[in-house]
Amino acid sequence: MRLRLADGRELIDGMASWWCAIHGYRNPALDDAVRGQLERVAHVMFGGLTHEPAVRLACRLSQLAPEGLERVFLADSGSVSVEVALKLCLQYQRALGHAGRTRLLTVRGGYHGDTAGAMAVCDPIGGMHSLFAGALPEHVFAERPPDGFDAGLDESWSASVQELASAHAHELAAVIVEPVVQGAGGMRFHAPECVALLRRVCDEHGLLLVLDEIATGFGRTGAMFACEHAGVAPDVMCVGKALTGGYVSLAATLCTPAVADAVSGGEGGGLMHGPTFMGNPLACAVALESLALLERSNWRARVRAVERGLNTGLAGARELPGVADVRVLGAIGVVQLDRHVDVALATEVAVAHGVWLRPFRDLIYAMPPYVIDAGELSVLTHAMVQAARACAIGASR
Ligand SMILES: *Cc1c(COP(=O)(O)O)cnc(C)c1O
């Protein structure tokens, strides 16, 4: 759980290294998995050849994933898995004779990565599309789903999404969203019913549903994948971040046989993507062990305990001046201010309380490793509240 600074001080890590180190650091089982694989082979090309860790990982992922996602493409990073998902959708529509269906429908407030294709489906303002005006494809943006996991389906949001989808259906290949939690776009939670609505909209108009579970996958929201809250399965799903327990970069794009077979049978004869380090054996081996460890660790109970600890510890922040909202879902705790966070000040206060945080915009948040215990949780939440307090006082001075 801890990071040691150069001067010897130790900080409880509230960030899990951008949400991926779910088992904490220097986990003996994960260390051994890397070492064990190193004694066999560190890397081999994944074109024409295959290898055991990749095959086992692909099988494991498709077992864990929602029904129907039986095909797996191993990618280098989350952003690349989104690029792969977008290519899959375009090639799929083209193979079906819909070469004009090249745009994506998404919602405002999203985040899908930093490569060009992924960036184009990020929130236009948060993703600074203006910096790249003319160079990015222009996709179709619906309003952000209304806030609140328990909010149910908002009728006017629902109507506006349906209207947009039917107006653009002839040029749309797919819908892409982060289910239930928008991460780097603003740490917002929305109702699972919104995800279910998007499933219906896709079915109605012949669009593929792509769910980006890179932040939410592997238990973070209290379900193995966030789309389980909605009871829907996508046609294409991206996973990354926690996949290797934070050891090395690896992501995957899963899809249904219908998507994979159409792409394989279409022009080009297959998906047009083949990164050099695709299916790296070291990454696959540690991912397999991370998934095994997740299951051995009784993750549901752990995430529920983290949720309780975050709820208890952050409750007091609601009363603070300058705090606009406090919300918790699974192992995600958010204190939203009514102003931008003074990041330097918030960091200094958190560090003084023995905690590492990385606030952004108006958000002081935590996504800790699942192995955090009750004592560490109370230190973490206390530091978050103190950082929020300092920002409120600092700004009013
Ligand atoms: C982090 C993230 C990505 C990008 O993943 P990288 O591994 O940083 O390229 C994409 N989508 C979501 C939802 C993410 O949280």
266-300 pLDDT tens trace: 998 999 999 999 999 999 999 999 999 999 999 99
pLDDT at 133: 86
Q: CA 262 to CA 132: how far, in whole Å?
A: 33
Q: Name the token pair of 15.
A: 């960030």
Pocket of ligand 1 (CB under 6 A): 77-79, 82, 111-113, 178, 183-184, 212, 214-215, 240-241
Q: Where are the alpha helices (DSSP H) in the chain?
A: 16-19, 28-38, 52-64, 78-95, 116-119, 155-168, 192-205, 227-230, 257-265, 281-296, 299-314, 343-352, 374-396
State in Å: Cα 8 to ligand 1 middle: 32
Q: How confident is the model at residue 392 (pLDDT cuts 50, 70, 90)?
A: confident
Tell me the pLDDT of the chain averaged across its residues.
97
State in Å: Cα 20 to ligand 1 middle: 10
Atom of ligand 1 nearest to the CA of 178: 13
Burial class (CB in 10 A: 0-12, 13-18, 19+), 167: exposed
State in Å: Cα 133 to ligand 1 middle: 22
Q: What is the mean pLDDT of residues 143-168?
A: 98
Nearest protein CA to atom 3 of ligand 1, as residue? 113
Q: CA 327 to CA 219: how far, in whole Å?
A: 18
Is the pLDDT score of 396 beyond 70? no
Nearest protein CA to atom 7 of ligand 1, as residue? 78
pLDDT at 185: 95
Atom of ligand 1 nearest to the CA of 110: 13
Q: What is the mean pLDDT of residues 26-47?
A: 98
Q: What is the mean pLDDT of residues 235-251?
A: 98
Is the pLDDT score of 395 beyond 70? no
For the chain, give the percent of residues with pLDDT over 70.
Answer: 99
State in Å: Cα 81 to ligand 1 middle: 9
State in Å: Cα 241 to ligand 1 middle: 7
State in Å: Cα 184 to ligand 1 middle: 8
Q: How confident is the model at residue 58 (pLDDT cuts 50, 70, 90)?
A: very high
State in Å: Cα 238 to ligand 1 middle: 9
pLDDT at 40: 97
Is the pLDDT score of 397 beyond 60? no
Neighbours of 108 (CB within 10 A): 17
Q: Name the token pair of 196.
A: 């279910």
Which of 80, 190, 214 best tests ligand 1's pocket when mutated (most atoms within 8 Å of CB)?
214
Q: Name the token pair of 58.
A: 């692909």
Higher pLDDT, 393 or 82: 82
Nearest protein CA to atom 15 of ligand 1, as residue? 215
Nearest protein CA to atom 11 of ligand 1, as residue? 112
For the chain, give the percent of residues with pLDDT over 90.
Answer: 96
